[in-house]
Amino acid sequence: MTTTESPPHPMAPGLALRITPLAVLGGRYASRVLERNLLVYRRSWIFILSGFFEPLFYLLSIGIGLSHLVGPIPVNGRLFAYTAFVAPGLLASSAMNGAMIDSTFLVFMKLKIAKTYDAMLATPLSVGDVALGELSWCVIRGSLYSGAFLSIMAALGYVVSPWAALCWPAAILVSLAFASAGMAGTTYMRTWQDFDIVSLAFIPLFLFSATFYPLTVFPGWLQAVVRCTPLYQGVVLVRAADLGLFNWVLLLHVAYLLAMAMAGVAITRRRLGRLLLP
């Protein structure tokens, strides 16, 4: 009996012998998709800033104006300045914005208009490579947004606790969850008009996430609804890190976001397989 050895990837000799986190997840050459995105944005970095400014403007306007009209906010029996209450929520929103921009509109463009993924699959890349490579880039973009936003929070004096360093990994988890869900939802979009649904979903997610108001100001039935929304999970995590308030319930929020991420990746891989493979 003789066996033949599969040829190495033409773009990356010897890459098949390397074990990376993406390879463990099933994306053997996903790093090549990520590398493509990095090269594309090397000359278009200005567009990366687009989703960063909205929560930043909210933060500045609240710090300059609204904070003088609103008194301290109670959180777990302690009082905090309104800016310290709002800033972590806006950080979570920034992480969501950064991840969703690429995982929705740009993924749709590559999938339906430019047919970029069809060209990728003509190479040794697999559907898993495409899905995980795109997801990696979306998370990196969300991480850049949240890292810059956290730096601005520190510069403005809105960081309360040394534990605020954990705000960044919490925000990255938010980016991962929303990027996965965004890509999964985008695979069901048929036309650009379908993105009106995305915009419609974003507004209540943002406004009813306990970013601007404590959850207790909502009526009981609305509190139950808000507790089930994904952005609320991220807001609670980031705020707990910034204020230094920890309890075991936070593990449930982490589990929620991880489950959301895994479900999104699974759906994306299955849907891309159906849409792109004959």
Q: Is the pLDDT of residue 7 over 70?
A: no
Averaged pLDDT for residues 202-226:
88
Tell me how far the alpha carbon of residue 110 is from its chain's centroid: 19
More confident position, 2 or 143: 143
pTM exceeds 0.85 for this model:
no
* Distant-in-sequence, close-in-space partners of 66: CB < 8 Å, separation ≥ 6: 82
**For position 48, what pLDDT does the model report?**
62
Of 156 and 237, which is predicted with more confidence? 237
* CA nearest neighbour of 50 among 118, 106, 129, 124: 106
- Give Cα 139 to chain centroid, integer Å: 6
Contact 179, 144 (CB under 8 A): no
Q: What is the pLDDT of residues 142-194, one digit of tens each?
A: 888 888 888 888 888 888 888 999 999 999 999 999 999 999 999 998 888 88
More confident residue, 54 or 225: 225
Per residue in 90-103, pLDDT (tens digit) is 899 888 888 888 88
Nearest to 160 by CA among 261, 239, 236: 239
Residue 97 CA to residue 95 CA, distance in Å, equals: 6
Closest CA to 90 of 158, 166, 139, 157: 158
